[in-house]
Amino acid sequence: MRQSRRINGAFTLIELLVVIAIIGILAGMLLPALSKARTRATLAQCMSDLRQWGLAATMYFDDHDQYIPLDEYDPGGTDQPSWSDVLNANSAACWYIVLPPYVQKPPMTSFHSFPGFNYLYHTKNIFECPAVNWNGMPSPTIRPYFSIAMNSKLNQTMTTATIKQLDQGTGGPNNSNHRLVDTTTVAMFLDTIALPSEPKAFAGQGGKYGSPKSYTTRISARHGDFCPIAFFDGHVEAVLLAQLMDSSGKNITTSPVIWDPLNPDAP
């Protein structure tokens, strides 16, 4: 009787190599899809956090005669306030202090000491984008690092900083493209670059990492080609970076996002 080539159903070396090769090919096909799914998931979570900030701001406006909160208190003028600045009484009107309680969240002041640092940077909260990798970050004992920021053009150019001014740029001399300027187009909060190690939105981007205020020059690229932005009417969009800025980070005057309501075409 002819002896069977197989013993106990064992595989030959060639068969094992073929199976391993097929598994490798399948893994190579699936990994990019998994990476994209993870990117979409973190983008969705970041947009959800921004919706909470938009909701908190809307309730704040109703309670304060439509006034917009301050973007920061930073007497040193660095756009990177220290913990002592955040804890200062002059910070009491800043967005990261006054808005969180409206959505039952603790203000930034609650994270100023250990173990608060761990809660701020390594647990889920609305202050920080879930896509930020905080490993190897600079010392958190010096200052807080923001990855969600307020539109810096608001307090900078709006003299009384109220929502009533949002439509004053529609007929202004520096709105050559006649874009609509109102609560649906003016940016309120955005995803901003937090650490020097993060992907750059444009070549040469640098400085002012982790600032509580931002616009195109400090915008984040951690979500690939998109940046999530919360607008004054409360809606949130993931906008293509190419629609927001040129290669040097300057505002594109035809973008769907208005940064300065009184000067829409400002760079």
The number of distinct structural domains making up the chain is 1
- Residue 182, in any domain of the structure: yes
Q: Is residue 265 part of a domain?
A: no
Of 75 and 17, which is predicted with more confidence? 75
Give a yes or no: residue 51 inside a domain: yes
3-state secondary structure the chain: CCCCCCCCCCCCHHHHHHHHHHHHHHHHHHHHHHHHHHHHHHHHHHHHHHHHHHHHHHHHHHHCCCECCECCCCCCCCCCCCHHHHHCHHHHHEHHHHCHHHHCCCCHHHHCCCCHHHHHHHCCCCCCCCCCCCCCCCCCCCCCCCCEEEECHHHHHCCCCEHHHCCCCCCCCCCCCCCCCCCCCEEEEEEECCCCCCCCCCCCCCCCCCCCEECHHHECCCECCEEEEEECCCCEEEEEHHHHECCCCCECCCCCCECCCCCCCCC
Assigned domain for 158 exists: yes
Domain contains 263: no
Average confidence (pLDDT) over 30-42: 65
Is pLDDT at 33 greater than 70 in this prediction? no
pLDDT above 50: residue 1: no
Supply the pTM of this predicted model.
0.84
The answer as to whether 5 is a domain residue is no
Question: Is 108 inside any structural domain?
Answer: yes
pLDDT digits (tens, 9 = 90+) for 193-218: 999 989 999 988 987 899 999 999 99
Domain membership flag for residue 227? yes
Q: What residues make up the domain containing 182? A: 13-244
Report whether pLDDT(90) > 70: yes
pLDDT tens figures, 103-134: 999 999 999 998 888 899 988 899 999 999 99
Q: How many CB atoms lie within 10 A of CB 74?
A: 21
